[in-house]
Amino acid sequence: MMKIFRNIIEARNIPNAVVTIGTFDGVHVGHQAIFNKMKGLAQGINGETVVVTFSPHPRQVLNIDSSNLRFLCTPEEKLEKFEEFGIDNVVIINFTKEFSRTPSEVFIKEYIIDHIHPAYIVVGYDHHFGKNRMGDFGLLNDMMWKYNFQVERVEAQDVENIAVSSTKIRNALAVGNVKSANRLLGYTYSITAEVLVGNKIGRTLGFPTANLELPKEYMLINRGGVFACLVDYDGKSYKAMANIGHRPTIGDRGENQPIIEVNLFDFDGDLYGKQIRVHFIDRIRDEVKFNGLEALKAQLEQDREKAKEILQ
């Protein structure tokens, strides 16, 4: 089972530590390549992998475009992914403005070397760290001779000739291109949220929906529409379709934050107050305004058939 340390002093006794450092939003294909490299190195020296990460996200603390900041996963989901991809230990450093002023060399020496005693430090091809992001692979190379550790760099990972990055995944989700986002992530993009009590109009149309509302920083699919989905609930997976948007036919959302409505196929039960995870598989169409509820119902029937076809 993965160990989580919220105080770096507690991470002193990790044997032959193979360390990486970063925020790892989304834990995408590029991050997974770093983890695979670490696991191979750790196996060769009978060591353990260590991810050093930060909370809150540095851009939140430093107010760098923080109003537009969007995350691919919650902190809890990120830890789940670390464990899923085989990480042994996670060290979470409390990121403050004071900490942000730590020079790169001091950070590596006083946090990583003095406490974790790494055998290896593994970084991505474009990784920067420390005050003003001045630290990089070159600095680690200079330091490794003095402090007796080795450095490995993992090059950019390409998926269909696209260099993978969290920004590219966010951009794909912003326009509703979940298929592209999923390829870059290496798994299906999902959200986890509590089911809210809605206006129950979907139920009267024969399409009862679980209504979800996410905090702004996790609302990444900004192009509304209908999506084919899989929903995890109570240990089971259900085929489903979801609508993201403002419900223009009903006209009760205005310019408020979009809501997510999920219709689970072959499910009969009460989800109010329950947590569900929605995996977005493909986009079916834009959200449009229909001429009344009967026209909306007819379209929803077509959407359901299309979603079932996609999910076969």
Residue 184 near residue 164 (C-beta atoms within 8 A): yes
- pLDDT of 63 reads 79
pLDDT digits (tens, 9 = 90+) for 36-78: 999 999 999 999 999 999 999 998 898 777 677 889 999 999 9
Residues 76 and 119 in one domain: yes
- Flag whether pLDDT at 142 surpasses 90: yes
Residues 149 and 17 in one domain: yes
For residues 184 and 29, give the distance between their C-alpha atoms in angstroms, rounded to a whole number: 6
Rg of the Cα trace of the chain? Answer: 22
Contact partners, residue 105, CB within 8 Å, separation at least 6? 130, 135, 139, 143
What is the b/e burial string over 55-93, where b = at least 16 CB atoms within 10 angstroms of the residue's CB? eebbeebeeeeeeeeebbbbeebbbebbeebebbbbbbb
Residues 25 and 149 in one domain: yes
Collapsing DSSP to helix, strand or coil, 267 comes out as coil
pLDDT digits (tens, 9 = 90+) for 245-277: 876 555 555 556 778 999 999 998 889 999 999
For residues 288 and 83, give the distance between their C-alpha atoms in angstroms, rounded to a whole number: 40
Our measurement of the distance from residue 115's CA atom to the centroid of its chain's CA atoms, rounded to an integer in Å, reads 28
* 86, 112, 167, 197 from 115: Cα distances, Å: 22, 6, 32, 49
- Flag whether pLDDT at 304 surpasses 80: yes
- pLDDT of 255 reads 56
For residues 101 and 228, give the distance between their C-alpha atoms in angstroms, rounded to a whole number: 45
pLDDT digits (tens, 9 = 90+) for 72-124: 999 999 999 999 999 999 999 999 999 999 999 999 999 999 999 999 999 99
Residue 53 near residue 94 (C-beta atoms within 8 A): no
For residues 95 and 8, give the distance between their C-alpha atoms in angstroms, rounded to a whole number: 13
pLDDT digits (tens, 9 = 90+) for 194-251: 999 866 666 666 688 999 988 888 889 888 899 999 999 999 999 999 999 876 555 5
Residues 193 and 277 in one domain: yes
At 312, the amino acid letter reads Q
- pLDDT of 249 reads 56
* Residue 180 domain flag: no
Residue 284 near residue 307 (C-beta atoms within 8 A): yes
**Residues spanned by the domain of 142:** 3-159
For residues 55 and 35, give the distance between their C-alpha atoms in angstroms, rounded to a whole number: 20
* Residue 171 domain flag: no
- State mean pLDDT over 289-305: 89
User: In terms of Cα–Cα distance, which of 279, 269, 161 is closest to 227?
Assistant: 279
Residues 136 and 45 in one domain: yes
Collapsing DSSP to helix, strand or coil, 226 comes out as strand
Q: What is the CATH number of the domain that holds 96?
A: 3.40.50.620
- pLDDT of 29 reads 97
Residues 152 and 220 in one domain: no
For residues 82 and 103, give the distance between their C-alpha atoms in angstroms, rounded to a whole number: 27
- The crossing angle, in degrees rounded to 10, of helices 166-174 and 178-185 is 160
Residues 213 and 266 in one domain: yes
Residues 11 and 104 in one domain: yes
For residues 84 and 79, give the distance between their C-alpha atoms in angstroms, rounded to a whole number: 9
For the chain, the distance separating the N- and C-terminal CA atoms, rounded to the nearest angstrom, is: 34
- Flag whether pLDDT at 6 surpasses 70: yes
* 125, 192, 274 from 282: Cα distances, Å: 31, 18, 24
- State mean pLDDT over 21-49: 97
- State mean pLDDT over 152-163: 89
In total, how many domains does the chain have? 2
- pLDDT of 248 reads 57
Residues 12 and 144 in one domain: yes
